[in-house]
Amino acid sequence: MGKAIIIQGTPGTGKSTIAERLSKKLGIKHIDISRLVIEEKLYVEVDRERSDSKVANIDKLTEKIVNILENSGKDVIVEGHYADIIPEKYVKKAVIIRLHPEILEKRLRMRGWSEKKVRENVLSEALDECLISALQTYGIDKVVEIDATNKNVEEILREILDELEGKNRKHVPGRIDWLKIIEAEGKLEEFLKRYSKIREE
């Protein structure tokens, strides 16, 4: 049986880019959960608020991923911002990719996303939503946080591989605090004003 190496994070943090390169480097498969949901029709209904995304059927999705892991001789890289649907016993490590909210905002705007969707995701990154959900599902020993800000993919991969090989435990969760960093940059008040009230577009 293979275990899941989860690459989790807010949309746009670089999960696919990292997961693809890691998968080549380790010679193991990479599954993108959002793609799997579409390809295998593992969704229940269309989310009307976000018309371009589908609501996954969590039970079917979990079953499908567990099945892939049980039938795999090797570990599998699983990418998703809601990867916390995999039972903890199937998880080797959950790597949370973090990105400075301002850089994330630029990336999401480049995708042409709506103002509401951009703000929702930037705020979610600033407030550690993804990290919280990963900690609740897998526990602190399996969760690793990687700051991808101003790093190239090779540097990010090195940090992930060090953690997977157990060389160090430098990336224990909780050390990344965007609000503190934004405050040190003198932009906290402006940031919160801009993002905390999401108007209906």
CA torsion through residues 15, 9, 86, 50, sign: negative
Find the binding residues for ligand ATP in span 13-72 (CB under 6 A): 13-17
Which residues in 99-183 belong to E strands, given as ranges? 143-147
57 secondary structure, DSSP code: -
Q: Are the C-beta atoms of 4 and 69 separated by less than 8 Å?
A: yes
**Closer CB to ligand ATP, residue 17 or residue 62?**
17
Verify binding: residue 11, ligand ATP, rule CB under 6 A: yes
* 89 φ/ψ angles, rounded to the nearest 5 degrees: -65, -20
Choose from ligand ATP, Mg ion, none: what does 173 bind? Cβ within 5-8 Å by kind. none
CA neighbor of 147 nearest in space, from 115, 174, 185, 119: 174
Q: How far is the CB of 48 from ligand ATP (least distance, A)?
A: 20
**Closer CB to ligand ATP, residue 117 or residue 197?**
117
Q: How far is the CB of 17 from Mg ion (least distance, A)?
A: 8
Q: How far is the CB of 157 from ligand ATP (least distance, A)?
A: 10
* 68 φ/ψ angles, rounded to the nearest 5 degrees: -60, -45
**Closer CB to Mg ion, residue 79 or residue 191?**
79
**Closer CB to Mg ion, residue 34 or residue 181?**
34
Residue of 16, 62, 124, 149 that binds Mg ion (CB under 5 A): 16
Q: How far is the CB of 168 from ligand ATP (least distance, A)?
A: 21
Burial class (CB in 10 A: 0-12, 13-18, 19+), 52: exposed
CA neighbor of 5 nearest in space, from 187, 26, 179, 62: 26
Give the interface segment with Mg ion, choosing from 9-17, 69-77, 88-96, 109-117 (CB under 5 A): 9-17
Q: Are the C-beta atoms of 160 and 95 separated by less than 8 Å?
A: yes
Residue of 5, 12, 23, 86 that binds ligand ATP (CB under 6 A): 12
**Closer CB to ligand ATP, residue 84 or residue 141?**
84
| DSSP H or E stretch at residue 30 | strand 30-32
Give residues in contact with ligand ATP (CB under 6 A): 9, 11-17, 81, 107, 148, 151-153, 156
- Residues near Mg ion (CB under 5 A): 15-16
